Homo-oligomer: A and B are copies of this chain.
Amino acid sequence: MASVKNATDGAPNAQGPVAVDLDIDNITEYVINGFNKNADVRMKFIFERLITHIHDFARETRLTTDEWRTGLDWLQACGQICTKDRKELITVSDIFGLSTLVDEIDHPKPPGATEGSILGPFHSLDAEEKTNGDHISSDADGEPLFVYCTVKDTQGNPISGARVHVWEADSHGEYDIEKADRTRPDGRGILRSNEQGEFYFNAITPTPYPILCDGPVGKFFEIAGRHEYRPAHIHFMFECEGFDKLITALYLRDSKYRDSDAVFGVKRSLVVDIHELDAETAAKYNLSGVNKLLRYDFVLASDSEANALRERHSAAALKALGRDASLPSHVPPTL
């Protein structure tokens, strides 16, 4: 029988790189080169960094086949539990701190601008338009709370006509869209800031609540020995022509879990006190049956301020990687 050599000389029928002596270290460049025909320079760059980090992760941890399989099975389970209203992968991003980080990256704030916080899974597109002073919650068990806010630019000028989405859980820590018997939006509304940049509404004092933990995320929390609660908060989202979209939330200083939010949304500057409502304010806004006040002054970054920061940060990040800073960093995704 003929003796057969087991090595190839790299015959020229190649598409892409030639079969090599692949090993633990050179495989990363080999895989990245395998995708070098990608015409989308932004996607190619993202893919390169993704592969580099996934491979470094496996190399550094000496990931075992069993661990690899466990991780993939867990990711599969995360996808399988998803529905129109349940987005487990977004919750994964939340509990890994990625949602907060991406908001920080994509919505940079100049000095003085209000910081962002995570959107969370409970924003709803069917919220009703409200007028200043309206009630947003029908929850009779909730402690009435008057919320008075202003919204200004970084120079201190009032912003009028800003569209302000507000939403909160009820006194049992449930959002309207979590309820099977929901007939109309509740605990939410869309306000407009007035000429003085003011907006105000009647709400209830929010309470802490657990994130949805009956699926893969819950299993992870159980094993990781971490609680699944968010501190009491009210969500705010600002949309206004000429200003960068602001998604944020205010967190109650005295709330349980304030310093251990399951999804890493709390920032020091977003922690607020609930005050006793003073008689002057009650009279001015014609309030009755309300004893509590939450007050906050929001500051929006302009589009040009946010864009200037994005460009500066992108250039710095690319330079730190030794890359051409002219690489486009904000091409729309195509996948």
Contact = CB atoms under 8 A, between A and B. Distances in A.
Contacts of A260: 14-17, 34
For A73, A75, A297, A334, which residue has the most chain B Cβ atoms within 10 angstroms? A75
Q: How many copies does the complex hold?
A: 2
A125 interface: no
Interface in A1-44: 1-2, 4-8, 10-11, 13-24, 27-28, 30-31, 34-35, 37-40, 43
Given A38-B224, A47-B224, A53-B54, A268 B66 contact: no
Given A72-B90, A97-B27, A313-B62, A38 B223 contact: yes
Contacts of A256: 13
A212 interface: no
A60 B45 CA distance: 10
A123 interface: no
A79 B13 CA distance: 35
B105 A59 contact: yes
Contact of A51 (B97, B280, B320): B97
A257 to B, nearest CB: 7
Nearest to A50: B57
Interface string A263-291: 01011111111010010110000000000
A225 interface: yes
Contacts of A2: 275, 278, 293, 295
The 10 closest A-B pairs by CB, nearest first: A79-B79, A31-B97, A14-B259, A8-B271, A15-B260, A53-B53, A70-B333, A16-B260, A37-B225, A72-B89
5 contacts: A1-B278, A24-B101, A27-B100, A38-B223, A39-B225
Given A64-B102, A79-B89, 20 more contacts: A1-B295, A8-B253, A10-B268, A15-B257, A19-B251, A19-B258, A19-B266, A27-B104, A31-B96, A37-B226, A43-B224, A46-B63, A51-B97, A62-B330, A66-B332, A68-B106, A75-B79, A75-B89, A77-B79, A79-B80
